[in-house]
Structure 1
Amino acid sequence: MSEPTDTFDDVLPEALQRVSPAPLVDIGANLTHASFSHDLDAVLRRARAANVGELILTGTDREHAIQAVELARRHLGRAPSLYATAGVHPHDASQWDSALEADMRELHRQPEVVAVGECGLDFNRNFSTPAEQEHAFEAQLGLAVESGLPLFIHERDAGSRMLEILKAWRDDISQAVVHCFTGERATLYGYLDLDLHIGLTGWICDERRGHHLRELVGEIPANRLMLETDCPYLLPRHLPAKLKGRRHEPALLPWIAAEIAHWRGDDEASLAAATSSTARRFFGLNALHEET
């Protein structure tokens, strides 16, 4: 059987086939989601064709973190390069116990794992109580200190409490990124004052709820900004063609990069290069490449 060619194939309409002028890093891709189970190889080929060269696969619980590590191992030496995070999402914080903590500690020792998380606080839906969320989050902060890994943080409608907790831990943790940032200016400045990184998604492309981000995005220093799809969620609403099934995927990251570049007043190539350099440094990807 011949090797697959670098094409977007017929899943992405021609109008959506955009290639980044510089390699991109997608710091938040939920590729262990069931919606990718039937065509993951094609998804990765399309990412490569779009010039998305590195993907951080989000581990939101024990099962998905293990799957992310296994996927990164299976794809070793191929493009795009895959890495994993390992953590417990605040929705599942009620499940935190000593056995889960031990499993997370072991996952953090795996070379494919480049961050602790997705972990944090979500006071919007409260699938776990705020007390359970805070307990699990602080336990994972402790694991980040122990492992030396950076943090991949989820925060929704919990900015003030998140800032209180992170201020208490900031001298002990290495680095942290607030992924899929959607908050207001005061929360953003609180995170930047703590020397945290900010991950932006297609939320900024949403004319219904992303307008405030367009005003804020230029205030994020280039060396603190990273890009992500958070796929299969948060499909950008400004795309010029309909996408069957409305599943987001890494090949669409160039559309997000272009939108962010526009609102920052940057050219697309410069933004792509800067955010990718920041991501590689934050997650230690350059060192990992040297080891392999």
Structure 2
Amino acid sequence: MQLIDIGVNLTHPSFAEYRQALLERAYAAGVQRLILTGTSLAESQNALDLCQQLDANSEHLFSTAGIHPHDASSWNSDSYNELTALLKDPRVRAVGECGLDFNRDFSPRAQQEKVLEQQLAIAVELQLPVLLHERDADERLLAIVRDFRDQLSAAVVHCFTGEKRALFNYLDMDLHIGITGWICDERRGSHLHPLVKEIPRTRLMLESDAPYLLPRSLRPKPKNGRNEPAFLTEVLREVALHRGESEADVAAHTSATAMAFFNLPV
């Protein structure tokens, strides 16, 4: 059984001392491909460097390059060209993580929107898929993406945690949906249980968002409290349960979808 983790923050400093061991645990658990998330120009370069350092002679690790809405204020006159150059590396398979976060508002909303539009324009230019971040901003995100959708190759709403209205609007725009350990959280994620079965097989992908979103249903839990890609099997278990499908079936179709979305080598 093969799994693909479409969102891993492997550049996070908490992983610095044991990245190789973390990858070995992931591979042993069946997570054979990992997409390392870029969240700023510097972190996108770091993610690419990790792919080249830790996976030089294989094809397990790929990355994204983009500017997270939290970092939208860092965008300057050089950012477009610098990001475009990063995205031309063959290990980099998507634009992002980019989008809108009206929950924390670490960058002004107008700046978030401008930077999202710039990154969508790059995705159109390079014909790369997009990894989208959204918090409390689904209607505005949809309005912006709609203007680019016909020219975009594909886009996934990373770490979907929203309600039915947002999900159906995303699906109506032919977007993909990424599900994390949020679905394993009985305090705040149970609304996803009936929704996850509404996602078409060709639109669903799985992600850990490690080191964040440790599945609360995981037993035993790691003493350090950090999530890692090996625990994606717990997300798989929960998704399969609420879709009424076998774990092997969900693993197969989410992996096939991720392979196609990120144009990964067979």
**TM-score > 0.5 by shorter chain:** yes
Counterpart of 2:107 in structure 1 is 128
Counterpart of 1:77 in structure 2 is 57
- For the pair 1:88 / 2:88, whether they are aligned, the reply is no
- Partner of 2:57, secondary structure, is coil
Q: Structure 1: which amino acid aligns with 2:154?
A: Q
Counterpart of 1:176 in structure 2 is 155
Counterpart of 2:128 in structure 1 is 149
Task: List gaps (5 residues or longer) in structure 1.
Answer: 1-21
Larger Rg: 1
Within 5 Å, which residues of 2 pair with 1:101-112?
Answer: 101-112=80-91
Q: Structure 1: which amino acid aligns with 2:24?
A: R
Q: Structure 1: which amino acid aligns with 2:56?
A: L
Distance in 2, matches of 1:49 and 1:171, equals: 40
- Partner of 1:103, secondary structure, is helix
Counterpart of 1:237 in structure 2 is 216
Q: Structure 1: which amino acid aligns with 2:107?
A: S
Distance in 2, matches of 1:52 and 1:268, equals: 13
Counterpart of 2:76 in structure 1 is 97
Counterpart of 1:260 in structure 2 is 239
Counterpart of 1:39 in structure 2 is 18
Counterpart of 2:255 in structure 1 is 276
Counterpart of 1:63 in structure 2 is 42
Q: Structure 1: which amino acid aligns with 2:185?
A: D
Distance in 2, matches of 1:23 and 1:218, equals: 21
- Partner of 1:284, secondary structure, is coil
Contact 1:76 1:82 in 2 (8 A): no
Within 5 Å, which residues of 2 pair with 1:171-250?
Answer: 171-250=150-229
Distance in 1, matches of 2:188 and 2:39, equals: 25
Q: Structure 2: which amino acid aligns with 1:77?
A: N
CA RMSD of aligned residues (A): 0.9
Q: Structure 1: which amino acid aligns with 2:263?
A: G
Distance in 2, matches of 1:162 and 1:37, equals: 33
Counterpart of 1:48 in structure 2 is 27
TM-score by length of 1: 0.89
Query: Which of 133, 144, 151 is residue 165 of structure 1 equivalent to?
Result: 144
Q: Structure 2: which amino acid aligns with 1:105?
A: T
Task: List gaps (5 residues or longer) in structure 2.
Answer: none
Compute the displacement of 1:248 (Å).
0.4
Identity of aligned residues (%): 55
Compute the displacement of 1:100 (Å).
1.6
Compute the displacement of 1:239 (Å).
1.1
CA deviations 1:56-85 (Å, max 9, x no partner) are: 000000111101111111213347x00000
Distance in 2, matches of 1:42 and 1:182, equals: 30
> How many aligned positions are there?
265
Distance in 2, matches of 1:242 and 1:88, equals: 32
- Partner of 1:199, secondary structure, is strand
Q: Structure 2: which amino acid aligns with 1:178?
A: V
Contact 1:90 1:122 in 2 (8 A): yes
Distance in 1, matches of 2:121 and 2:58, equals: 33
- Partner of 1:43, secondary structure, is helix
Q: Structure 2: which amino acid aligns with 1:51?
A: G
Counterpart of 1:3 in structure 2 is none
- Partner of 1:53, secondary structure, is strand
CA deviations 1:216-252 (Å, max 9, x no partner) are: 0000001100000000000000112231110100010
CA deviations 1:126-173 (Å, max 9, x no partner) are: 000110100000000000011110000000100010111111111111
